[in-house]
Amino acid sequence: MNRQELEKIKQKALEEHIPIIMDDTLEVVDKILTEIKPRRILEIGTAVGYSAICFSEYLQQGGKIDTIERDEERIAEAKENIKKVEVEDKINIFSGDAVEILPTLNEKYDVVFIDAAKGKYPFFLKEALRMINENGVILADNILYKGYVMSDYNKHKQRTAVRNLREYIKEVTENPNIETEILEVGDGLAVSRINKS
């Protein structure tokens, strides 16, 4: 992995206000990936590939990341970035809306990283639960959405997003087969450990 290139990719994304994973969130995810040593990761929301590139370091030998993005320009840039750091063999991008693509997938994943349209988190969770391995982990970024989710703030124009993020938290907390922690890192990260069996 070319670290210098990765740093350039990060700086460019920050300059362009692309909402890449925040450093403290990445630190937590790094620890989880170190512990799990995943073979397969599913990411929903590629943007320019920054997080996928970071995660690719933790894959088992021969492991792979599937990542979904609907913005054509970002897909093109993600492909260039993945090439620059030489991890083409580890990352596969699905182009299109995750709402349409997810139901067509029939893989098993050790880790699912949800980081796309907040209004769709409950749907993404349903699809993640269908494909997650026993003892896998489902991560949801931006789960606290600037603090709106835990406040009584309901008038915001993003209230549909807030309602759906709350619904996501409710589902992962109430499901007896899932153990969830909501971490106040970055914009909030939900860490849900699955114990199906």
Residues 52 and 65: their CA atoms lie apart, in Å, by 7
Using CB under 6 A as the binding rule, whether residue 42 contacts ligand SAH is answered as no
Using CB under 6 A as the binding rule, whether residue 19 contacts ligand SAH is answered as yes
Using CB under 6 A as the binding rule, whether residue 90 contacts ligand SAH is answered as no
Closest approach, Cβ 21 to Mg ion, in A, equals 6
Residues 118-137 that bind ligand SAH (CB under 6 A): 120
Pairing of strands 91-95, 40-44: unpaired
Using CB under 6 A as the binding rule, whether residue 5 contacts ligand SAH is answered as no
Using CB under 6 A as the binding rule, whether residue 30 contacts ligand SAH is answered as no
Among 65, 74, 77, 186, binds ligand SAH (CB under 6 A): 74
- Residue 159 CA, chain-centre distance (Å), reads 21
For ligand SAH (CB under 6 A), the number of binding residues is 19
Strand partners, 71: none
Cα distances from 104 to residues 69, 96, 148, 188, in angstroms, run 15, 12, 33, 29
3-state helix, strand, coil in the chain (%, to 5): 45, 20, 35
Using CB under 6 A as the binding rule, whether residue 97 contacts ligand SAH is answered as yes
Using CB under 5 A as the binding rule, whether residue 141 contacts Mg ion is answered as yes
